[in-house]
Amino acid sequence: MPALGAWLSVLGLAALCAVALAGWLDPAHAHAWIALMALCQ
């Protein structure tokens, strides 16, 4: 389903933006998120 792929891409991009924003606000919090995302992949 192309629509599903598009939604996953949008969600992935939103997650990246959220991590980038968290990193700008709180570097330690961003490192925790990056480690969590690495474990999930």
Burial, 30: exposed, middle or buried (Cβ in 10 Å; 0-12, 13-18, 19+)? middle
* Each residue's pLDDT tens digit, 2-31: 888 889 888 988 988 887 877 777 777 777
Q: How confident is the model at residue 1 (pLDDT cuts 50, 70, 90)?
A: low
pTM of the model: 0.50
Distance CA 27, CA 19 (A): 10
Q: How confident is the model at residue 38 (pLDDT cuts 50, 70, 90)?
A: confident
Distance CA 2, CA 28 (A): 36
Distance CA 3, CA 32 (A): 31
Two tokens at 14? Answer: 């939103």
Distance CA 35, CA 37 (A): 6
